[in-house]
Structure 1
Amino acid sequence: MEYTRLGRSGLSVSRLVLGTMNFGTRTSETDSHAIMNRAHEHGINFFDTADIYGGEDGAGRTEQIIGRWFATGGGRRDRTVLATKVYGPMGDGPNDRGLSALHIRRAVEASLKRLRTDHIDLYQMHHIDRGTPWEEIWEAFSVLRGQGKVLYFGSSNFAGWHIAQAQEAARTRHFLGLVSEQSIYNLMSRWAELEVLPAAREYGLGVIPWSPLHGGVLSGVLRKEREGSAARSGTGLWAAALEERRESVEAYEKLCAGLGEDPAHVGLAWLLAQKGVTGPIIGPRTMDQLDGTLRALEIDLAPRTLARLNEIFPPPAPNGPNPAPEAYAW
Structure 2
Amino acid sequence: MEYTNLGRTGLSVSRLVLGTMNFGPQTSEEDSHAIMDRAHEHGINFFDSANVYGREKGKGATEQIIGRWFARGDGRRERTVLATKVYGAMGDWPNEGRLSALNIRRACDESLRRLQTDHIDVYQMHHVDRATPWEEIWEAMSVLRQQGKILYVGSSNFAGWHIAAAQEAARSRHLVGLVSEQSLYNLLSRWVELEVLPAARHYGLGVIPWSPLHGGLLGGVLRKQREGGTSRSTAGWEGRELARHRDTLEQYEKVAADLGADPAVLALAWLLHQDGVTGPIIGPRTPDQFDTALRAVETTLDADTLTRLDDLFPPPAPNGAKPAPEAYAW
Same fold? TM cut 0.5:
yes
Q: State whether residues 90 and 96 of structure 2, in contact with CA within 8 Å, keep that contact through their aligned partners in structure 1.
A: yes
Q: Which secondary structure does the structure 2 equivalent of 1:215 belong to?
A: coil
- How far apart, in 2, do the equivalents of 1:294 and 1:95 lie? 40
Q: Cα–Cα, structure 1 residues 50 and 78, in superposed 2: closer, same or farther, change >3 Å?
A: same
Please say if residues 193 and 323 of structure 1, whose CA atoms lie closer than 8 Å, have aligned partners that are also in contact.
no
**CA distance in 1: counterparts of 2:281 and 2:208, whole angstroms:** 7
What code does the residue aligned with 1:21 have? M
Which AA in structure 1 matches 2:295?
R
Q: 2:95 — aligned with what?
A: 95
Amino acid at match of 2:82: L
Partner of 1:20: 20
Residue 233 of structure 1, CA deviation: 5.6
Output the TM-score relative to the length of structure 2.
0.99
Matched residue SS, 2:218: coil
Cα distance in 2, alignment partners of residues 104 and 208 from structure 1: 22
| TM-fit CA distance, 1:288 | 1.1
Distance 1:316 1:233 in 2: 24
Q: Give me the CA root mean square deviation.
A: 0.8
Amino acid corresponding to residue 265 of structure 1 in structure 2: V
Partner of 1:58: 58
CA apart distance, 1:19: 0.2
1:216 maps to amino acid:
G
Structure 1 stretch displaced more, 320-329 or 41-50: 320-329
SS of the residue corresponding to residue 218 of structure 1 reads: helix
Cα deviations across residues 281-330 of structure 1 (Å, max 9, x unaligned)?
Answer: 00001111111111111111010100000000001012333221121345
Identity %, equivalent residues: 74
1:232-311 map, 5 Å: 232=232, 234-311=234-311
The equivalent of 1:77 in structure 2 is 77
**Alpha-carbon deviations, 1:157-197, whole Å to 9, x = none?**
00000000000000000000000000000000000000000
What is the CA–CA distance in structure 1 between the aligned matches of 2:312 and 2:320, rounded to whole Å?
17
Q: Distance in 1 between matches of 2:208 and 2:272?
A: 10
The one-letter amino acid paired with 1:143 is: V
Kept in 1: contact 2:271–2:279 (CA 8 A): yes
State how many pairs are aligned.
330
Q: State the alpha-carbon separation in 2 of the partners of residues 321 and 116 from structure 1.
A: 51
- Aligned mates of 2:89, 2:139 — CA distance in 1: 21
Q: What one-letter code is carried by the residue in structure 2 that aligns with 1:89?
A: A
Secondary structure in structure 1 of the residue aligned to 2:207 = strand
Match of 1:82, SS state, is: strand
Cα drift, residue 230 of structure 1: 3.1
Correspondence 1:118-197 to 2 at 5 A: 118-197=118-197
Contact 1:101 / 1:137 at 8 angstroms: preserved in 2? yes
Deviation at 1:94, TM superposition (A): 1.5
* Shift of residue 238, structure 1, vs aligned partner: 0.8
Indicate how the Cα distance of structure 1 residues 75 and 25 shifts in structure 2: closer, same or farther if over 3 A, else same.
same
SS in 2 for 1:252: helix
Corresponding residue SS for 1:224: helix
Deviation, 1:242, is: 1.2
Letter in structure 1 aligned against 2:248: S
Paired letter, 2:173: R
Instruction: For 1:230 and 1:5, locate their aligned partners in 2 and report how far apart those are by CA, in whole Å.
Output: 38
Following superposition, the deviation at residue 29 of structure 1 comes to 0.5
